[in-house]
Structure 1
Amino acid sequence: MTSLRKNLAVLLLFLSASPFLHSDLSSHAASSPPPATRPRIIFMNDLSSDDNFEDDYLDNDNHSSLPEVVHTMKTTKLQLHTQLCQHSPCLENQEPCKLISKRTGCLCPGFSAANEPPHAPRIHMLQPISKGDNRGKIEVQWCAPSSVVSAYKVLIEGSEALEFQEVSRRGLIGFLEVGTKVCVEAVNSAGHSVASDFSCTRYDPPEFADHKLLAGVIGGGVALLLLLIIAALILWKYQLRKKAKRDSADGLGNPSYSTEGTL
């Protein structure tokens, strides 16, 4: 009976203390910080539009279900047109490369700035004119540099410089002596190019085809004349030998013949 009373007392004491325990658990739950959330991830489905997107959040309880990322590729104009423009720096009176690039989307070579002196042009050739009124005069041809150019100057050793337009790639410079130095210089508002090994050359006249033909004709004539002389000498010697044999045969043909008379 005494033990039963003790059990009832303990039960009443536990029931009276349970509201304080419940309130303590509730306050602990309320004061604990909320569970940490993962940062927001934005997945873009189309790179060509800035407004077409959606926000996705990762679930804290289910880490296995992740949204599928769609990879898209955007083809740019640079990828479609990677070929160089059909523009030669050695031909004159061409359409500017910038206009060709704007029309076709091709790529132009890099140019130095307009406020920098131009690079040196490259001499293509020095050749004499073979036909027309300027026959015998020398023409210089050059290729433009990758720079902004407003004019070209041809510098001739011992003569005054000749100026040509920016679209020019050739110029008539008159008569030159063999070994004369000729340089082509590019000019713009910032200055002029510096002479180099490929922008200067010395005049070395080429051999024309008619000169070669004339030399061949002369050589052939001399060879033919030598052959005729040799043939004439051989024929002359042959005739001499033939005559000598004939004279010898006539003297031995009649043994009774004598200059002193008959026997």
Structure 2
Amino acid sequence: MTSLLLLFLSASPLLHSHLFTHAASTSPPATRPRIIFMTGLSSDDNYDDDYVDEETHSPPTEVLESVKTTLLRQNPQFCHYNPCLENQEPCDQISARTGCLCPGVSRADVPPHAPRIQQLLPISEGDDRGKVEVQWCAPSSVVSRYRVVIEGSETLEFQDVSRRGLVESLEVGTKVCVEAVNSAGHSSPSDFSCMRYAPPESSDHKLFALVIGGGVALLLLLIMAGVIVWKYQMRKKAKRDSADGLGNPSYSREGTL
């Protein structure tokens, strides 16, 4: 009896198909494994970047970090370096320590650019009274020392970290130039590296000029007042003389006619 039943089941394709469908519907769904795409083996850190989740179809959050880094690199920070201040830390050392950017500097095997002279300031107090302080700003070049060239006089040298130097008293109109020097040569004079000495007027000179001007103005006022009084007296005398001459003609001091 059992053998007949097995034979019937195997011979019936319709029943076999129904049983297979029922078994497939009652079995748990298969879980799809995650797929990892490997595009290169140059770095172990690239595995997470190459993985794509099939359910969300979106890259992982590490991509956002890389975008943030790229945006930060597009906004560089310049170094806090003032070429007009002396005894500063060199800009290349500041850049190596903080990662900031320095202005472009010419090579050491070419002559430096000309420095920019700021002012010629006379010294009026202290032990250096009567001398003149020359102030300048460094160029964007490699500099080993500076030279202050005075027209018709001596040339003074200063260190590469210096931005000012004292010279002897100068006459008005004297031309002063600042040159930068390195192993390849020195800078050429230019309109912004040279200046003629024109000392500003001191407060004592201004006060003296005010006193002189006030005295001259007072003297002019006194002269004008004297002229006005003199004219007034002359007119008054002329009126008195004319009044005496127009009296009674029949009267005279000797008696009546």
**TM-score using structure 2 length:** 0.67
Query: Match of 2:133, SS?
Result: strand
Query: What letter corresponds to residue 210 of structure 2 in structure 1?
Result: G
Query: Match of 2:209, SS?
Result: helix
Displacement after TM superposition at 1:119 (Å): 1.6
What corresponds to 2:225 in structure 1? 231
Q: Sort the Cα spacing of 1:172 and 1:256 in 2 relative to 1 into closer, same or farther, 3 A.
A: same
1: distance between equivalents of 2:184 and 2:72? 32
2: distance between equivalents of 1:253 and 1:217? 55
Contact 1:48–1:74, Cα closer than 8 Å, also in 2: no
Q: Sort the Cα spacing of 1:235 and 1:190 in 2 relative to 1 into closer, same or farther, 3 A.
A: same
Larger CA deviation: 47-56 vs 162-171: 47-56
Match of 1:137 among 111, 126, 131: 131
Q: Sort the Cα spacing of 1:53 and 1:80 in 2 relative to 1 into closer, same or farther, 3 A.
A: closer
What corresponds to 1:154 in structure 2? 148
Task: Work out the number of aligned pairs and report it.
Answer: 214
Contact 1:81–1:107, Cα closer than 8 Å, also in 2: no
Runs of at least 5 residues in structure 1 that lack an aligned partner in the other structure: 1-39, 57-64
2: distance between equivalents of 1:69 and 1:202? 68
2: distance between equivalents of 1:201 and 1:170? 14
Question: What value does the CA root-mean-square deviation take over the aligned residues?
Answer: 3.6
Query: Match of 2:113, SS?
Result: coil
Match of 2:89 among 87, 92, 95: 95
Q: Sort the Cα spacing of 1:234 and 1:98 in 2 relative to 1 into closer, same or farther, 3 A.
A: same
Q: Which digits, 9 at most, give the CA deviation of each residue in 1:79-101, with x for residues without a partner?
A: 38623222211122223323443
Query: Match of 1:239, SS?
Result: helix
1: distance between equivalents of 2:51 and 2:234? 124
What corresponds to 2:45 in structure 1? 49
Q: Sort the Cα spacing of 1:214 and 1:43 in 2 relative to 1 into closer, same or farther, 3 A.
A: farther
Runs of at least 5 residues in structure 2 that lack an aligned partner in the other structure: 1-35
What corresponds to 1:220 in structure 2? 214
What corresponds to 1:190 in structure 2? 184
Displacement after TM superposition at 1:43 (Å): 6.3
What corresponds to 1:107 in structure 2? 101
Q: Sort the Cα spacing of 1:133 and 1:256 in 2 relative to 1 into closer, same or farther, 3 A.
A: farther
Larger CA deviation: 173-182 vs 144-153: 173-182
Match of 2:164 among 165, 170, 182: 170
Query: What letter corresponds to residue 126 of structure 2 in structure 1?
Result: G
**TM-score using structure 1 length:** 0.65
Displacement after TM superposition at 1:155 (Å): 1.1
Contact 1:143–1:169, Cα closer than 8 Å, also in 2: yes
Displacement after TM superposition at 1:156 (Å): 1.3
Displacement after TM superposition at 1:231 (Å): 0.8
1: distance between equivalents of 2:148 and 2:198? 17
Contact 2:37–2:50, Cα closer than 8 Å, also in 1: no
What corresponds to 1:241 in structure 2? 235
Displacement after TM superposition at 1:236 (Å): 1.6
Contact 1:137–1:175, Cα closer than 8 Å, also in 2: yes
Structure 1 segment 61-100 matched on structure 2, within 5 A:
68-69=58-59, 71-72=63-64, 73-75=67-69, 79=73, 82-100=76-94
Displacement after TM superposition at 1:210 (Å): 4.1
